[in-house]
Amino acid sequence: MFIDKVTTASWGKLTGPKDLHINWHVPSLAEIEFAVELFSSQAETALETITALLTSSSKVKRDGTGKEWSDDMSRNLVLLRLLLAGIAYLVNTEAPTSRSTNEGKSDVARDLGVEMDQEQDATLEGLNLGEQADDEIQPSFTYACGYFFQDNQQELYTKIHALRDRIGQSLHEVHVFLIREQQDDVACFNALYTVC
């Protein structure tokens, strides 16, 4: 095995901060467009497959003995997990979703499926669930990176967030279906929970 002497000379070397020059890659618009197109095409295919698997007209039958249905569902859930992880840099986590509509319920109450009056709902929303406040974090240095889109009306921005919202809706539908029809399908539940 050949090891370059230049490579071995730099192993374990401590570099001072003043001598450290990192050229960070900043993606171009063309690279972002490609990432969004790849994300979109793969996610659409996975969502179509998942939707088909949830209907009774699915080509793959849930006969109780075979693993084909479970394997197909798990495979597509894993694909969604990887796609969401890969596109995470382009997602604005502060963006409103279809869940944050003005239905008069907090997200917590909606998730729990309970009815609350406005006072109870306000109390629930105001709970500090152990998360550290943003103003307590004191960054010592800010890297030249961050959220790509400056305009939330940009076509790529709306495409990513609309598709991400549809993925979330589909994951909810999968969860409801698994609880109702496939309670013992451990592989599907594992794949679903790793996506969330």
71's tokens: 């394997």
The closest of 167, 185, 177 to 56, measured between CA atoms, is 177
Residue 159 has pLDDT above 90, yes or no: yes
Classify the phi-psi angles of 36: left when phi > 0, otherwise alpha if psi is within -120 to 50, otherwise beta. Answer: alpha
Does 164 fall in a domain? yes
Looking at the structure of the chain, the number of domains it has is 1
pLDDT at residue number 50 = 95
Query: How confident is the model at residue 59, as a pLDDT?
Result: 75
Evaluate whether 173 touches 54 at the Cβ level (below 8 Å).
Answer: yes
Tokens read off for 181: 């029809």
Residue 182: pLDDT band by 50, 70, 90 thresholds? confident
Q: Is residue 80 in some structural domain? A: yes
User: CB-side exposure of 113: number of CA atoms within 13 Å?
Assistant: 0
pLDDT per residue as tens digits for the range 8-43: 677 777 888 888 887 878 888 899 999 999 999 999
**Does any domain span residue 36?**
yes
Establish if 10 belongs to a structural domain: no
Inside any domain, residue 14: no
Query: Is residue 120 situated within a structural domain?
Result: no
Residues in the chain: 196
For residue 137, tell me if it sits in a domain: no
Per-residue pLDDT, 127:
54
User: H helices then E strands: how many in the chain?
Assistant: 7, 0
Domain assignment present for residue 140? The answer is no
* pLDDT for res 108: 47
Tell me, what's the pLDDT at 104?
Answer: 46
Give residue 186's domain range. 31-55+67-94+147-196
